[in-house]
Amino acid sequence: MVAQVIDGKAFAAKVRAQVADQVTKLKEENGITPGLAVVLVGEDPASQVYVRSKGKQTVEVGMNSYEHKLDPETSEDDLLALIDKLNNDPAVHGILVQLPLPKHLNEDLVINSIDPAKDVDGFHISNVGLLGTGQKSMVPCTPLGCLMMLRDHHGSLSGMDAVVIGRSNIVGKPMAQLLLGDSCTVTIAHSRTKDLPDVVRRADIVVAAVGRPEMVPGDWIKEGATVIDVGINRIERDGKNKLVGDVDYASAAERAGAITPVPGGVGPMTIACLLANTVTACCRANGLSEPEGLTA
Ligand code: GUN
């Protein structure tokens, strides 16, 4: 079997267009412009690239972008004071604090100081609990993007065997909760899992989110399975810098029914879902009905 390629870049463009339509509607019918505040502490180059891209795409869909770039030495008190100000600012519907934070700042404390209704990352402990109990919450962007692509490809996921490789709070755990919410039978595999190849071979859906280049070879993939590769790993091959996923794409594509490429798969969906979450947060804050298809 040669796999169908799931085009995350095209899918993300569709999500952004839906968000832009919703923003236009909010402006014209309600006089509201959704606003997203992004806070960056320090000068981590990768974080600077992400934050720039988030700000640019926010503006492109017609929303207001508020960027707060803080000195690497910023105290916890000063950061918490800024978050408190954003929590109380009615023009701000979404707040994202870019991670990782400098070592002297307590990440859990900072994230949990964000108003859960504005927590567009879905990292606040209240949102984690709401998602885990099947209640309405803000859903982490990367797993939300994966779920959208899976639903688009399969329609219903009910009864499918899903394996999530990786147990991070940002991707693995919320991904498993979302798949469970869609009535999959879910296994979370990790570095201590016994017989990982056999576990993966049982899966109709494989989500790989470990951050290890090409660790899943094609012969672990069940014929016809759907493979969602969350990994973005920079490697050097044949003297060139290359981006690869957690799955060995060439061999997996020979067995899978459908597969996301790297780059151009899950990656573009993350920011698209951040924009979707911001519109959702804005609608909820204003007691308006939520746009369909942009939430879990
Ligand atoms: N750093 C890397 N990915 C993310 C993300 O999705 N959200 C935040 N806040 N920081 C990140």
Closest to 5 in 3D by CA, of 204, 263, 258, 255: 258
Atom of ligand 1 nearest to the CA of 274: 6
| Ligand 1 site, residue 277, Cβ cutoff 6 A | no
| Ligand 1 site, residue 144, Cβ cutoff 6 A | no
Catalytic entry in 18, 57, 118, 121: 121
Task: Pick the residue whose CA is nearest to atom 3 on ligand 1.
Answer: 99
Task: Pick the residue whose CA is nearest to atom 4 on ligand 1.
Answer: 99
C-alpha triplet 141, 162, 183: angle, nearest 5° = 80
Q: What is the pLDDT of residue 199?
A: 98
Share of the chain above pLDDT 70, in %: 100
Residues 101, 5: Cα–Cα separation, whole Å: 35
Query: 31-116 and 141-268 share one CATH topology?
Result: yes
Residues 141, 277: Cα–Cα separation, whole Å: 8
Q: Which listed CATH number (3.40.50.150, 3.40.190.10, 3.40.50.720, 3.40.50.880) goes with 141-268?
A: 3.40.50.720
Task: Please say if the pLDDT value at position 1 is more than 90.
Answer: no
| Ligand 1 site, residue 121, Cβ cutoff 6 A | yes
CA of 198 relative to ligand 1 center, distance in Å: 32
CA of 258 relative to ligand 1 center, distance in Å: 27
| Ligand 1 site, residue 96, Cβ cutoff 6 A | yes
β-pair type (205-208, 161-165): parallel
Q: Is 177 a catalytic residue?
A: no
Question: Per residue in 28-76, pLDDT tens?
Answer: 999 999 999 999 999 999 999 999 999 999 999 999 999 999 999 999 9
Fold for the domain defined by 31-116: Rossmann fold (3.40.50)
Q: Where are the domains of the chain?
A: 31-116, 141-268
| Ligand 1 site, residue 232, Cβ cutoff 6 A | no
At residue 275, the 3 state secondary structure works out as helix
Q: Is 204 a catalytic residue?
A: no
pTM for the full model? 0.98
Q: What is the pLDDT of residue 28?
A: 98
Residues 164, 180: Cα–Cα separation, whole Å: 11
Question: Per residue in 202-258, pLDDT tens?
Answer: 999 999 999 999 999 999 999 999 999 999 999 999 999 999 999 999 999 999 999
Pocket probe mutation, ligand 1, options 36, 50, 124, 273, max atoms within 8 Å of Cβ: 50
